[in-house]
Amino acid sequence: MRNARRRRAGGWLVVEAPEPQKGRKMRTAKIVLCGIAGAGWLASAALAATVVAREPETLRLGERVLVEDGSCPAGQIREVVGVSSKGPGPARVERMSQCVSRRR
């Protein structure tokens, strides 16, 4: 065993397991927490939508844009999402739009 303590007791050789390393567990916990926080930050940035006056010409796959053009009822705004791709390039992304609550 690596890092084991050896001692003699009553003519016998006793091998004791090393103490668990507390610093290593704490470092691992910090890495895991930082990873979770980073993933949450990236997810919130990806889900954020930009409010514009007119629909943009190009839209990336998964991109969300809130369009304030007056086409939806009062208290709602049109959400446009790039949902699927017909081929390579941003010009080939299909769009899906729906009216959503402004509080979203």
Residue 60 reports pLDDT greater than 70: yes
For strand 64-67 and strand 76-85, is the pairing parallel, antiparallel, or unpaired? antiparallel
Place of tokens 């990873």: 35
pLDDT digits (tens, 9 = 90+) for 70-84: 999 999 999 999 888
**Domain extent listing, the chain:** 1-48, 49-104
Q: Please tell me the predicted confidence (pLDDT) of residue 19.
A: 65
Listed residue (78, 81, 82, 83) closest to 104, CA to CA = 78
**CA–CA gap between residue 26 and residue 28 (Å, rounded):** 5
The amino acid present at 88, given as its one-letter code, is P
- Give the three-class secondary structure for 96: strand
